[in-house]
């Protein structure tokens, strides 16, 4: 006597697909939209390099020399670390500029997003370059004719000795923006 085989239990129906959660980042269309919104920020950041260059020109240490028959003679005690002082002043000015613009970029609710990070990096680099070139343009080193003019008074030129100082602005801007993003309870992107 054989026992009839028992039928296999029916397979359970596959579960209904769950609703996919909405992603926070929508991809490159969102980045392009952020970049379009950030053009004003980019241009404003680059133009802000001009006042930073003026501030560097005003605050950077300088030495004054009187030209005599024996050559240049320092008027007063010359600063031994003149070049380091020039670089340090520019570094502090650029850090302040970057922190201010990075924080201001975070306050612009409509412009928040991934593209804003790109705008801050490029704009900070442009602002650093503008500040550097304007400062050096305003205080050029004395020419050979000025050094040969006995009785004339000349000052040292303003030069940047350490090019990595120029990275201070984009670094500080990104740091300020990302710190605001980390401590904010809501990012305020408002994207659907």
Q: Which helix (H) or strand (E) holds 131?
A: helix 114-138
The pTM of this model reads 0.75
Q: Give SS3 for 161.
A: coil
User: Which phi and psi (to 5°) does residue 147 adopt?
Assistant: -70, -30
Mind spelling out the 3-state secondary structure of 14-62? CCCCCCCCCCCCCCHHHHHHHHHHCHHHHHHHHHCHHHHHHHHHHHCCC
pLDDT at 192 over 50: no
Cβ pair 99, 171 in contact under 8 A:
no
Rounded to whole angstroms, how far apart are CA atoms 90 and 75? 24
Q: Which residue has the higher pLDDT, 133 or 9?
A: 133
Q: Which residue has the higher pLDDT, 30 or 125?
A: 125
Residue 180 CA to chain centroid, in angstroms? Answer: 15
Per-residue pLDDT reduced to its tens digit, 17-55: 665 555 555 677 777 887 888 888 899 999 999 999 999
Lowest mean pLDDT among 47-56, 65-74, 108-117, 161-170: 65-74
Residue 63 CA to chain centroid, in angstroms? Answer: 30
CA angle in degrees (0–180, nearest 5) for 31-121-51? 130
Q: Which two tokens stand for residue 169?
A: 């602005």
Residue 150 CA to chain centroid, in angstroms? Answer: 44
pLDDT at 187 over 90: no
Rounded to whole angstroms, how far apart are CA atoms 19 and 27? 20
Mean pLDDT comparison of 26-35, 107-116, 162-171, highest-scoring range: 162-171
Per-residue pLDDT reduced to its tens digit, 129-150: 999 999 999 988 777 777 777 7
Per-residue pLDDT reduced to its tens digit, 54-99: 999 999 888 777 777 777 766 766 666 777 888 999 999 999 999 9
């Amino acid at each position: 006597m054989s026992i009839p085989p028992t039928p296999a239990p029916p397979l359970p129906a596959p579960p209904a697909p769950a609703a996919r959660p909405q992603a926070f980042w929508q991809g490159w269309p969102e980045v392009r939209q952020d970049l379009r919104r950030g053009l004003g920020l980019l241009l404003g950041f680059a133009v802000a390099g001009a006042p930073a260059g003026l501030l560097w020109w005003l605050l950077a240490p300088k030495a004054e020399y009187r030209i005599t028959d024996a050559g240049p003679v320092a008027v007063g005690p010359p600063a031994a670390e003149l070049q380091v002082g020039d670089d340090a002043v520019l570094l502090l000015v650029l850090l302040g500029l970057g922190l201010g613009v990075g924080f201001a970029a975070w306050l612009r609710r409509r412009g928040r997003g991934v593209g804003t990070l790109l705008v801050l990096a490029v704009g900070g680099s442009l602002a650093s370059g503008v500040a550097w070139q304007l400062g050096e343009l305003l205080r050029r080193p004395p020419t050979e004719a000025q050094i040969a003019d006995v009785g004339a008074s000349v000052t040292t030129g303003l030069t940047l000795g350490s090019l990595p100082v120029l990275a201070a602005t984009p670094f500080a801007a990104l740091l300020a923006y990302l710190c605001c993003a980390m401590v904010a309870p809501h990012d305020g992107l408002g994207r659907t």
